[in-house]
Amino acid sequence: MDYELLCQKREQLSLFCEQLPKEVLQSFDKSFEIEYTHNSTAIEGNTLSLIQTKAVLEDGISVGGKTLREIYEVVNHNKAFGFVKKCLAEGKVLDERIIKDIHALLMENILTGGIYRNVEVRISGAKHKPPVPSEMYQQIKNFYVDMSYKPKENAIEFAAWTHAEFVKIHPFTDGNGRTSRMIMNYQLMASGFLPVSIAKENRLEYFEALEAYAVEGDLKPFADMIAGLEEQRLDEYLGIAR
């Protein structure tokens, strides 16, 4: 990861964005939000296609042959991302209250969100076993302390750690992946970077990178993956600007 190069591109984009028409930026942001919602829900098994996701979010069209839960997952994800942008616009630093609110929005009409689990959970196909509830409560408490005091010289690594550590703890019965990706983007955007979307086609690489952190404590594969996605997004925007 060449963090200095990413920072240079971030500063270039900041200057270019002032010259770009708002309509252009809004169009690209809207396109990203649909893609991000589609990928993040699809990783968890949602079967709506990208076009169907667009139809639900932009046109309010109900898609036949899909469960109500799948429709809610898509609508809720978009709503939660809107909440993230609102919090960032208000200059709020990510904390426990915001994370619980994000989860509650993601789980609206599905289950009661924003409440930590009191049962054991398993991640299918993973070597890592999430902590039992008594250990989980201590770990999530430590997570918020670490998030406040952890050195933030590298914003990409910090955002990647926020995701990897949170999903390792797995504090909710459901929705941990979507919440983790949402809070990672919160940290990226809070540092002036662009939010990223992990393509559903890359979920195997994504899961393996998270497993490397959960089992071996090695954050590098995941941080490098996020840095690559960030660079792609920055290059895309800089390409329009130029």
Distance CA 15, CA 13 (A): 5
Give the whole-angstrom CA distance, residue 158 versus residue 192: 13
φ/ψ (deg, to 5) at 127? -75, -35
Q: Where do the structural domains in the chain lie, given as residue ranges?
A: 3-122+129-241
CATH class of 3-122+129-241: mainly alpha
Do 165 and 146 touch, CB atoms closer than 8 A? yes
Are 213 and 229 spatial neighbours (Cβ–Cβ below 8 Å)? no
Q: What is the chain's pLDDT, residue by residue, as a tens digit (242 residues)?
A: 789 999 999 999 888 877 777 887 888 889 999 999 999 999 999 999 999 999 999 988 878 889 999 999 999 999 999 999 999 999 999 999 999 999 999 999 999 999 999 988 877 667 778 889 999 999 999 999 999 988 788 999 999 999 999 999 999 999 999 999 999 999 999 999 999 999 999 999 999 999 999 999 999 999 999 999 999 999 998 887 66
| Active-site amino acid positions | 170
> Using CA atoms, how far apart are residues 237 and 162, in angstroms rounded to an integer?
25
Instruction: With CA atoms as reference, report the closest residue to 6 among 160, 201, 209, 176.
Output: 160
Beta-carbon count within 10 A of 217 CB: 9
Q: Token pair for residue 172?
A: 């909710």
What is the reported pTM?
A: 0.94
The rounded distance, in Å, linking the Cα atoms of 143 and 163 is 11
Place of tokens 């968890």: 44
Give the alpha-carbon dihedral of 54, 87, 97, 10, to 10 degrees: 90
Q: What is the pLDDT of residue 125?
A: 67
Alpha helices (H) along 118-175: 133-149, 155-169
d(CA 174, CA 68): 17
